[in-house]
Amino acid sequence: MAPDATDSTTQNPRRPARDIIDAVVENMRRNLEPLKYSTLAASRYTVYLHPGEYTRLEAILPILRDQTVRALNEELQTLNRSSRVQRWLERAVGRVDAEVQSAGLGWHVEFVADPDGDMAEGDVLVDSDLLLPSASDLGVGELTRKVTTLHAGSRTTMRERTVSRSEPSPTAPVRATIAYDDDRGSHSYDVVQESLTVGRGGIAYPVDIRIASSPDVSREHARIRRDTSSDRFFLIDLSSLGTTLNGRHVPRGYEEVDGDKRENGAETLLPDQARIGLADTVFLDFRKVG
């Protein structure tokens, strides 16, 4: 066998179906939300597979789905099982670990073929949604925490983000406008929502402004957030190659530790008129309205 063929097989081995089940269970463990009397586990999972893998497994997907649900139930039992010594210690310190339970009525598991051609054969990407309790007294509405785990070869990476579930009203006022040119031409976007994401998009990367450009622009490159109390906009860099504001780089809005990508809260105030650069490749002309 030629060396390059051997290398390809080594880098992208075909995964047994049981590895896909294990990937969903691992994602569940990473998307837990402790409350006072219970701990919520994400109940909705979308599993993306290489089209070749999806075709190979398509006939057994109902069985694969049933066994994934069974594995999730067994993992809940494992997380909730305490030894006698553990229970004695918990009673001694006046603490009992909150029971872990699914955030929904049962589990929803869906298998999808990669629609964007990003995944290599053998890759498994799991995207889970966990509806977080609203906190209206803090000005926080309905939010969903999304945890994405990608298993590529022997490497596993994780990305966590929280998005608003509320849709802007059709009569919502235009707060700002964004004009830009990309490989598809010239575009203009009216900002009516409180938060929007810009990037090339892709599976598990839903963006509001999808940029047609080279891979220098990240799938999820930047986010623009409006603070409702001050009516001011802020820019958050989520990219690999950086985001500029009027020619100057802004601080990176996330930290990457052991393959996990988590936002760190860093954001930059946007002037009423600004030029935002995405990897010095595509430029957005931002203008606040009013």
Are 96 and 129 in a shared domain?
Answer: yes
CATH number at residue 241: 2.60.200.20
Range of the domain at 36: 3-164
182, 82: one domain: no
pTM of the model: 0.70
The neighbour count for residue 122, using CB atoms within 10 Å, is: 19
Residue 276 belongs to some domain of the structure = yes
% of the chain surpassing 70 pLDDT: 83
Is 28 in the same domain as 142? yes
C-alpha span between 99 and 77 (Å, rounded): 10
59 and 184 share a domain? no
DSSP, res 135: B
pLDDT tens track, the chain, 290 positions = 333 333 333 455 678 999 999 999 999 999 998 888 889 999 999 999 999 999 999 999 999 999 999 999 999 999 988 655 565 666 666 555 678 888 888 899 999 999 888 888 899 999 998 887 654 433 344 678 888 999 988 888 888 877 765 555 667 899 999 999 999 999 999 999 889 999 998 887 888 999 999 999 999 999 999 998 999 999 999 999 999 999 999 999 988 877 677 788 899 999 999 999 999 999 999 999 98
Same domain flag for 181 and 111 = no
225 within a domain of the structure (yes/no) = yes
Question: Same structural domain for residues 147 and 187?
Answer: no
Number of domains making up the chain: 2
Q: What are phi and psi of 246, to 5 degrees?
A: 50, 45
Q: What is the pLDDT of residues 36-49, one digit of tens each?
A: 888 999 999 999 99
Structure tokens at 250: 């802004």
**Helix crossing, 17-30 with 61-80: angle to 10°?**
40
Question: Quick one: pLDDT at residue 13?
Answer: 66
Distance of CA 188 to the CA centre of its chain: 26
Task: Compute the distance between CA of residue 89 and CA of residue 93 in angstroms, rounded to an integer.
Answer: 6
Cα–Cα distance for residue pair 49/108, rounded to 1 Å: 17
